[in-house]
Structure 1
Amino acid sequence: MLSVRRAAGAPRRSRWTGRLAACYADGGVPGPAARETASSVIALLEGAFMLGRSARSTAPVLAAGKAAAAIVRAALDGR
């Protein structure tokens, strides 16, 4: 069952990653770094959403937002 869900969600995650990477590239993050940054930010937020649901708290999502911003800043600084 889990592998079916994973397979069904893969195209959606790929689209999200591609769209976010395009935004980062438009903002000045170099191509390969833009895709890596997008993948990292999406993974970070997905984990935060799961933790937030299980803890019934927004704290993990708020912390992930700060961490995501730091990741993007670091990618921009690496231009």
Structure 2
Amino acid sequence: MRHDRVFVLKKLGLTEEEFAGIMAAPPLRFEDYPSYQRSFDHNPWWRAAMDVMIRTKRLGIRFGLFRRSA
């Protein structure tokens, strides 16, 4: 286990103190990181393109042109 820790710290370029600080920090959710999602949600052209894409995929699945993804 110690060998693995040394290996990871070396690959990430971290000291023991930096790694301990990261591990002691509270966990973050994906929403805590910046994203372009809001700009897409409020863009009418983006919304229309997504609607077309979703409807096209549904039709393709219904008529056997596309397979359902797992």
| TM-score interval, normalised by the smaller of the two chains | 0.3 to 0.5
Question: Which structure has the larger Rg?
Answer: 2
TM-score by length of 1: 0.32
Higher helix share: 1
- Point out which structure has higher relative CO (alpha carbons under 8 A, 6+ apart): 1
